[in-house]
Amino acid sequence: MAEKQFNSVVGFSVGYETPIGVIDANANVTANYLFVDNDANVTGNLTSNTITVNSYANLGNVGNVYIGGGSSGQVLSTDGLGNLSWANSGSGTGQGLMPFYIPGNTTYTVYQYQQGLFSIPITVEGVLEVDGILVQV
């Protein structure tokens, strides 16, 4: 017996009195709720180019979330419009504490329009970049 592709013109629905479209003809998935078994297990995978969540998305523990890219020590930063990008730690409006030791293979940057204040010597085995102001107090 030869295999045949399964096609849909207007989408698929689940068996309710009034059917709810789940997968439309363009393979867009609409899920208003998930089926969870008696042991609170959710099974299955969703693969999509984009996902739009119109409400709260509970992803569970942070270990359940993977976002590719970035480098060690970088953080996710927003532009205030909801767009995320990787940024060096401390590159936002708050610099945080000035380190007294910068280990090898790392870079600490005092960014433009920011200042780094320190009262004890800084041991630099990595790189200290100063685009802003570095002040000893």
In b/e form, how buried is each residue of 61-83, taking b as 16+ CB within 10 angstroms? eeeeeeeeeeeeeeeeeeeeeee
Whose CA is closest to 133, among 108, 103, 105, 111? 111
Residue bearing tokens 């013109």: 9
How does strand 20-23 pair with strand 12-14?
antiparallel
For the stretch 77-99, pLDDT in tens is 888 888 888 887 654 444 567 88
pTM above 0.75, yes or no: no
For the stretch 36-70, pLDDT in tens is 556 656 555 566 677 777 888 788 888 888 888 88
